[in-house]
């Protein structure tokens, strides 16, 4: 699973191997001493979350204008280039960098999106519905 989400929903749904392109709000760190904190510490903080050393605690997410981690991008490209099936859902093809990573994939593509995307012509299966409604219909 490659995601731009920072909310950990894929892990909560049971996904074990998740590449988080933009990080996660469940991991936080002190910008000075690098001490790690969980989301519970952030939620219980009054005002700006601060470390024991007094510095600001930042979520381990890529903020607008920050560069993505090259190692994480490389990991995503590695998995994409070796895959057989790619399911792209929701608005993923409208948001970069994930939208650009599809060029590294050469297998079968299933695209679930309500509106047209640049990848429509490459899709082996195109589903023009709400992704949540599509997944509700799937039984295993």
Query: What's the pLDDT tens digit per position in 82-103?
Result: 999 999 987 767 777 778 899 9
- Of 10, 22, 41, 79, catalytic: 22
Is residue 19 predicted with pLDDT exceeding 90? yes
Q: What is the CATH number of domain 3-61?
A: 3.30.1600.10
Q: Where are the domains of the chain?
A: 3-61, 84-137
- Average per-residue pLDDT in the chain? 91
Residue with tokens 């679930």: 112
* The predicted structure's pLDDT at residue 76: 96
Q: Is 22 in the active site?
A: yes
Least confident residue range of 20-29, 52-61, 128-137: 128-137
**pLDDT given for residue 98 in this prediction:** 78
Tell me 62's DSSP state: P
Give the tens place of pLDDT for each residue, 42-80.
Answer: 999 999 999 999 999 999 999 888 889 999 999 999 999
Helix or strand or coil: residue 71? Answer: helix
Answer yes or no: are the C-beta atoms of 126 and 109 closer than 8 Å.
no
Q: What is the reported pTM?
A: 0.81
Question: Alpha helices, DSSP H only, in 98-137?
Answer: 98-101, 131-137
> Would you say residue 138 has pLDDT above 90?
no
């Amino acid at each position: 699973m490659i995601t731009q989400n920072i909310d950990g929903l894929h892990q909560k749904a049971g996904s074990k191997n998740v590449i988080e392109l933009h990080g996660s709000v469940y991991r936080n760190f002190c910008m000075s001493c690098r001490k790690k904190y969980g989301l519970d510490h952030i939620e219980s903080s009054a005002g700006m979350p601060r470390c024991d050393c007094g510095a600001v605690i930042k979520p381990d997410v890529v903020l607008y204008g920050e560069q993505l981690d090259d190692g994480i991008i490389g990991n995503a490209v590695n998995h994409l280039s070796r895959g057989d099936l790619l399911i792209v859902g929701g608005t993923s093809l409208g948001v970069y960098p994930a939208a650009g990573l599809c060029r590294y994939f050469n297998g079968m593509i299933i695209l679930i999106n309500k509106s047209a995307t640049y990848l429509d012509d490459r899709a082996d299966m195109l589903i023009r519905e709400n992704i949540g409604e599509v997944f509700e219909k799937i039984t295993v």
